[in-house]
Structure 1
Amino acid sequence: MIIGIPKEIMPGERRVSAIPDTVRKMVAEGLTVLVEEGAGKNSYYEDEAYLAAGAKLIADPEEIYRRADVILKVKEPQFNQQKNLHEIEMMRAGQYLITFIHPAAPVNHQMVLQMAKKGVIGLTLDGVPRISRAQSMDALSSMSTCAGYKGMLMGINNIPKFV
């Protein structure tokens, strides 16, 4: 099985869908992992770390979408201005997309319909229940925790007295 990790292209998105340690575990399980060059840069993971973890670096995102059985992303598919293509246009029937799709958001209804028409199988991380049994897969809780801590630190940094 081939896992594809394209660079996130949503403006302001700094996360990456898999860090080198995760890639190392996938490779150890026998998976092939394709990582777009620079995918981890905004999260402070260099391409060399992905290579050391056993990933294959790919310069062209279209190649990742063409070859991968499963695409891992942080955010829903976006329009790729460099390619002049929407990421969904690069996907193929039977391919899995694991990401935050936000299918209930009206702004994403058309995107979900396009995925369905193409035969792309979307697994949305925001649909994982926030319960104990599913906690190991619950990306939303971990991201909310990080945002909460950061918000607290930003608030403390802006108060006029020492805490």
Structure 2
Amino acid sequence: MDKSVRLWDAANGGNGLVRFQPRHGGVLAAVYNKAISVFDVETSTQIYLLQGHSEAVDYICWDPSGAVLVSVSQCLVKIWSMVSGECIQELASPPDQLFYSYVFHPSYSTLLIIGGRKCLELWNMTHNKIMTVSAHEDTISSLAQSLVTRMVASANHDSLVKLWK
């Protein structure tokens, strides 16, 4: 016996994405194809089953407070309330753009930065406004943020990394 608790069997259709809730740590989100299951790790019980994506969920992330969970597929971003378990906001990708990566802005917790094909989409979730910034010559495959320096790094498939202030 390995003393582990199996909350989700990723071998049966999941893609292995798991994230602990920040600040609290007692809640875990796990992706299973088109759905996200949210668990209380102390009691090993499912709190929410978040459904609504029409394609596989590629990425999940908590906002810095742990109050909302963001799920992303190539064509859709969904914002989920951890108070109600409901989708409170969503953003469809523009017709000529797919979503590949994202991160919260290190200084503005309601600004989501989404990496697409050559561009960064800056989504102000409070005002539901989007600003597009030309960023790379290829798909933006990865984004990272630093709370210390307040910088964002973007990387593309050509291995070019750019730093944004």
Give the TM-score category using the shorter length: under 0.3
Give the TM-score taking structure 1 as reference length.
Answer: 0.27
> Of the two, which has the highest radius of gyration?
1
Question: 1 or 2, which has the higher helix percentage?
Answer: 1
Question: 1 or 2, which has the higher strand percentage?
Answer: 2
Q: Which has the higher contact order (CA 8 A, sep 6+)?
A: 1
Give the TM-score taking structure 2 as reference length.
Answer: 0.27
